[in-house]
Amino acid sequence: VNANADDLAIAIDLGGTQIRAALIDRQGVIHIRCAEPTRATAGPETVIGQIAALAAKAREGFDAKRIIGAGVSSPGPIDTMRGVALAIPTLMGFNDFPLRARLEGRLGMTVALENDGISAALGEWRHGAGKGISNLVYVTVSTGIGGGVILGNRVLRGRQGMAGHVGHMSFMQDGETCACGNRGCFEAYASATAFTRRAIMRAAADPATRLGKTSEPIDAAAVFEAARQGDGLAKALVQEEAQYLGQGFASLLHLFNPDVLIMGGGLSNQFDDLQGDIVASLQSSAMPAFRNTPIRRAALGENSGLHGAASLIFEGA
Give me the residues that bind Zn ion (CB under 5 A), please: 168, 178, 180, 182, 185
C-alpha 253/C-alpha 282 separation (Å) is 10
Q: How far is the CB of 182 from Zn ion (least distance, A)?
A: 5
Nearer Cβ to Zn ion (25/176) = 176
Nearer Cβ to Zn ion (78/185) = 185
Q: How far is the CB of 238 from Zn ion (least distance, A)?
A: 23
Q: How far is the CB of 165 from Zn ion (least distance, A)?
A: 8
Q: How far is the CB of 163 from Zn ion (least distance, A)?
A: 15
Helices (H), 162-287: 186-190, 192-204, 220-228, 232-256, 271-285
Reduced to 3 states (helix: H, G, I; strand: E, B; else coil), residue 124 is helix
Nearer Cβ to Zn ion (110/182) = 182
Among 149, 132, 131, 155, which residue's Cα sits nearest to residue 254? 149
Q: How far is the CB of 185 from Zn ion (least distance, A)?
A: 3
CA angle 181, 185, 186 (to 5 degrees): 145
Nearer Cβ to Zn ion (50/115) = 115
Nearer Cβ to Zn ion (189/314) = 189
Nearer Cβ to Zn ion (15/77) = 77
Strand partners, 263: 139, 297
Among 22, 120, 8, which residue's Cα sits nearest to residue 74? 120
Nearer Cβ to Zn ion (177/283) = 177
Q: How far is the CB of 168 from Zn ion (least distance, A)?
A: 4
Q: How far is the CB of 170 from Zn ion (least distance, A)?
A: 6
Q: Looking at the chain, which runs of residues are DSSP E strands?
A: 8-14, 18-25, 30-37, 67-74, 78-79, 84-87, 95-97, 111-115, 136-141, 145-151, 154-155, 260-264, 295-297
Amino acid identity for residue 285 in this structure: S
C-alpha 253/C-alpha 251 separation (Å) is 5
Tally: H helices and E strands in the chain = 9, 13
CA angle 29, 308, 137 (to 5 degrees): 125
Question: Cβ contacts of residue 132 below 8 Å, gap of 6+?
Answer: none
Among left, alpha and beta (phi > 0; psi -120 to 50; other), residue 93 is: left
Q: How far is the CB of 202 from Zn ion (least distance, A)?
A: 23
Sign of the C-alpha dihedral computed for residues 274, 275, 277 and 278 taken in this order: positive
Nearer Cβ to Zn ion (247/303) = 247
Q: How far is the CB of 309 from Zn ion (least distance, A)?
A: 25
Nearer Cβ to Zn ion (97/189) = 189
